[in-house]
Structure 1
């Protein structure tokens, strides 16, 4: 069993903790930098990347996160976490460089362009399937590694 942490400063923390538990691993919310020492892996959840960056700096996570990344333990970023983990962000902002790729923040439009709709997807069974389309980022370019 692995111990996987979820950076619990802002965002979709409980959803990630729940999914980790469903895989049979130990899920830990991470609220203090010293808690990173006990982990096999870390998830930076979706949320609002500017807010998360401010909390990372305010609560002194910057260096401990860099140390964690350099230790070879895995870091996985979803949505805002994907933006923060990037080596570059298309608008010119700098990511934390946990992985070598360029992220496009709000790659599918602004917040007001998000929407929900019912879809009919036969292979998923129960109809309708409620789909939520959000202003997610995407990876524009990956580096050599």
Structure 2
């Protein structure tokens, strides 16, 4: 299991994956990307990640692996990288793509507007997840092939004193999605101390790897 290691919450994701029993490879070069069966795109700063992916010559190879069906979990900036479309793209900013969604960066405000809340996430057992939102993006719209895994229920969901989610915005904003082997969250599961999102991803990767190869009928 790889963790993209050019910028962001690398150590936190690696620790969570290891607690879930996964062997972790830090990915900075194409040869390291070639060695992993799945990848985590961590939270961080999406424009910095884009520049560093270009600097490390990883953008093209990463796009190829995603298009080829590699499972990926993206959190916060990772969600932005997996979006096919950005509403407020910075000058020259590109994404890896793969999920048919439109994303708005920093949709919930600046760092001081960060917040935490309890969030029901489809596919994660054991009750609501403690979700940490820091300068979080929002999924504005999704295509027909995208499954919505979580929606933010608004201030009534129990935001802590770190802030209230999106004052003046409507409830039920999309904050987690899945399309095929790609999963993306607007929140930071690596910062909550709750490994269930990572555990569900590790389990899905293992199930996919154990599935029999498609038969070509010959």
Higher RCO by CA contacts (8 Å cutoff, separation 6 or greater)? 2
Q: How far off its partner does 1:37 sit?
A: 1.2
Deviations 1:94-117 (A, max 9, x none): 53212111111101112343368x
Q: 1:110 maps to which residue?
A: 110
Whole-Å separation in 1 of the counterparts to 2:83 and 2:58 = 16
2:215 is aligned to none
Task: Give the secondary-structure state (helix, strand or coil) at the position aligned to 1:87.
Answer: strand
SS at match of 2:21: coil
Over 3 Å counting, the alpha-carbon distance change for 1:132 and 1:72 in structure 2 is closer
Instruction: Structure 1 unaligned segments of length 5 or more: list them.
Output: 117-130
Q: Compute the TM-score of the two structures, normalised by the length of structure 2.
A: 0.55
Match of 1:58 in 2: 55
Equivalent residues of 1:75, 1:98 under 8 A apart: no
Looking at structure 1, the residues matched to 140 and 132 of structure 2 have their Cα atoms a distance apart, in angstroms, of 22
What per-residue deviation string (whole Å, max 9, x for no partner) do you get for residues 34-91 of structure 1?
Answer: 1111111111100000100000011100111011112211112101111111001111
Tell me how far 1:31 sits from its aligned partner.
Answer: 1.3
Deviations 1:112-138 (A, max 9, x none): 43368xxxxxxxxxxxxxx96521112
> In structure 1, what is the Cα distance between the partners aligned to 2:48 and 2:68?
26
Q: Normalized against structure 1, the TM-score is what?
A: 0.80
Q: What residue is the counterpart of 2:81 in the other structure?
A: 84
Unaligned residue ranges in structure 2 (runs of 5+)? 117-130, 146-218
| Aligned CA-pair RMSD | 2.2
User: Are 1:75 and 2:72 matched, yes or no?
Assistant: yes
Alignment of 1:36 with 2:33, yes or no, is yes
CA distance in structure 1 between the partners assigned to 2:40 and 2:133 by the alignment:
22
Matched, 1:9 2:1: no
Q: What is the count of residue pairs matched by the alignment?
A: 130
DSSP 3-state at the match of 1:46: coil
Are 1:21 and 2:14 counterparts? Answer: no
Equivalence for 2:137: 137
Q: Which residue of 1 aligns with 2:42?
A: 45
